[in-house]
Structure 1
Amino acid sequence: MRSAEQMTDGVTIGQAAAFAGVTVKTIRHYHRHGLIDEPRRDNSGYRRYGSADLLRLVQIRTLAAAGVPLAEIGAILDADPDRFAAALVDVERRLTDRIDDLIARRDTLHRLATGDRALLPDRVLAKLDRVAADLGFTPDDVTMAREGLVLIRALVPEGFDDYVTKVERALDDPRYMSLIKRMWCAAEWEPDDPRVDELATAMADYYLAHPALLPIPAGLRARSDGAIRHGLLAHHGEEQKPAWIRLRALFEARMRSAGIDIA
């Protein structure tokens, strides 16, 4: 008899929590969010949860565990079958987006863990490796080239693909490859080495003949701070290579004298 009365009167919040697989604190949290009405109190002042309350708790817990925001659960549970199904489809889409984002983050961590600190597109890294092998780059040279590409991608993201395409086109030209090889060799020259002046002239002549290949990322000129960003890119790697500072200055001066101000 007593057991029957207890079932008729419902169960306490502690029992409801145990039956629904949640905590008492969680049930009270659901109450505060208006997801479930607070049940009646018995003669002793305790709230009693009936079977309908337990069902609601299980439904709330299930949706919350599936990733549905608490702010949306009430409306979903109270919706008609069609709206309920549509709401779940929308929740599934958002969860899929989150999963894709988390997978991308995990892949990034894996690449960082394996030493790929540059996080550049695979095709760019593959091209850089081939060029480095052709030109005899040292590991430090490869690192500097990678860092330069990372800076371009960070400072002018909308122009990165355009920049890479220009460089890829130029790399098919033996004359360009020769200039690039000489430029990297110039890193070890003294700033007043006459070869620096000769190389600056050769580089200017090349780009004046092929202006479309000037390695200036698309969109850089349109930025209000484009000169600052260009300066950061142009000066990269010059700290330990004084000859490059003079080479760049001479090259830009020759370009300006021909009517092209790339700075």
Structure 2
Amino acid sequence: MNGVTIGQAAAFVGVTVKTVRHYHRLGLAAEPERDNSGYRRYGSADLLRLVQIRTLAAAGVPLAGIGPLLGADAAPFAAALADVEQQLTERIEELTARRDMLHRLADGDRALLPDRAVVLLERMAGLGFSAEEVAAAREGWILARALVPDGFDDYLTEVGHAVQDPAFVTLIRRGAEAAAWEPDDPRLAGLATAMAEYYLAHPDRLATVTGLQARTENATRYRLISRFGNQSPAGARMADLVEAALRAAGVPVPRS
């Protein structure tokens, strides 16, 4: 009896019987003839072919590209392997980036925000902002970075400068507290006026209001960002009052 059964061949080569049959279906290896007992017998040439296929597949060559390589001369064989190597390198880089993202996800905020934004959020907590206020800022920044990515870094720079001013911090904290008021609370108008007057007296701080719309003409994006942290009726009304006062003073603030 010459040759071995498909099960023995698979075991010798280091694959499963199902894999060997798959190679046959793809035309990578011809099925041996059956012997007198009706079994297919795999000889040394068949085993060599299977080893070559398995080795190329294990090296990362797609099964669809293995056929031409099996009979290729040295030069095209080397060129094809170089191409596969490049594809594997790109895949490794992609997987590495995904792994790094998983690490950032485990680190919370750093998955969606740059490190300097996380530092600013930590600083806000140290300035007395509540956990809810810091969380609202974080979520608003995530949205802003997605909608206006080219202006986000400059915006963070302006916010970093602004929080060094105690007067600015006091106003922003008062605004955060006002979000819990009733929308017809008469104190809203006075607070909105104080905010607008502060911005007009400190033009360099205006970027914290208009910076996220400065590089886009899409007012809808600005509206989504500016209203994210003002979702309460009182917060939305106060933002409208501040923006109206700034427009009246000639500051270009988009309308929805």
For this structure pair, what is the TM-score category when the shorter chain's length is used for normalisation? Answer: 0.7 to 0.9
* 2:252 pairs with 1:258: no
2:211: which partner in 1? 215
Note the C-alpha offset of 1:129. Answer: 0.8
Aligned residue type for 1:93: Q
Note the C-alpha offset of 1:41. Answer: 4.0
Distance in 2, Cα, partners of 1:219 & 1:80: 56
* 2:155 pairs with 1:167: no
* 2:241 pairs with 1:245: no
The range that moved more, 91-100 or 30-39, is 91-100
In structure 1, runs of 5+ residues without a counterpart are none
TM-score by length of structure 2 reads: 0.79
TM-score by length of structure 1 reads: 0.77
Aligned residue type for 1:129: E
Matches within 5 A, 1:164-203: 164-172=156-164, 176-203=168-195
Note the C-alpha offset of 1:248. Answer: 0.6
For 1:204, what is the secondary structure of its paired residue? Answer: helix
* 2:85 pairs with 1:92: yes
1:75 to 58, 61, 68: 68
Task: Note the alpha carbon deviations across 1:231-259, whole angstroms, 9 max, x for none.
Answer: 322222334x4331221111121233234
Distance in 2, Cα, partners of 1:70 & 1:138: 58
> What is the identity percentage for the equivalent residue pairs of Structure 1 and Structure 2?
62
Note the C-alpha offset of 1:227. Answer: 3.5
The answer as to whether partners of 1:255 and 1:262 remain within 8 angstroms in 2 is no
Note the C-alpha offset of 1:125. Answer: 0.6
Distance in 2, Cα, partners of 1:14 & 1:256: 81
2:41 to 19, 44, 48: 48
Task: Note the alpha carbon deviations across 1:155-211, whole angstroms, 9 max, x for none.
Answer: 334443343344334445555444433333433445445553344234434555345
Distance in 1, Cα, partners of 2:175 & 2:68: 66
1:125 to 118, 127, 130: 118
Distance in 1, Cα, partners of 2:214 & 2:86: 35
2:8 to 15, 19, 23: 15
Distance in 1, Cα, partners of 2:10 & 2:155: 60
Are the structure 2 counterparts of residues 120 and 212 from structure 1 closer, same or farther at C-alpha, using a change threshold of 3 Å?
closer
In structure 2, runs of 5+ residues without a counterpart are none
Matches within 5 A, 1:55-66: 55-66=48-59
Query: When the two structures are aligned, how many residues end up with a matched partner?
Result: 250
Distance in 2, Cα, partners of 1:65 & 1:257: 69
1:228 to 203, 210, 220: 220
Note the C-alpha offset of 1:86. Answer: 3.5
Superposed CA RMSD: 3.1
The answer as to whether partners of 1:160 and 1:217 remain within 8 angstroms in 2 is no
The answer as to whether partners of 2:179 and 2:235 remain within 8 angstroms in 1 is yes
Note the C-alpha offset of 1:143. Answer: 1.2
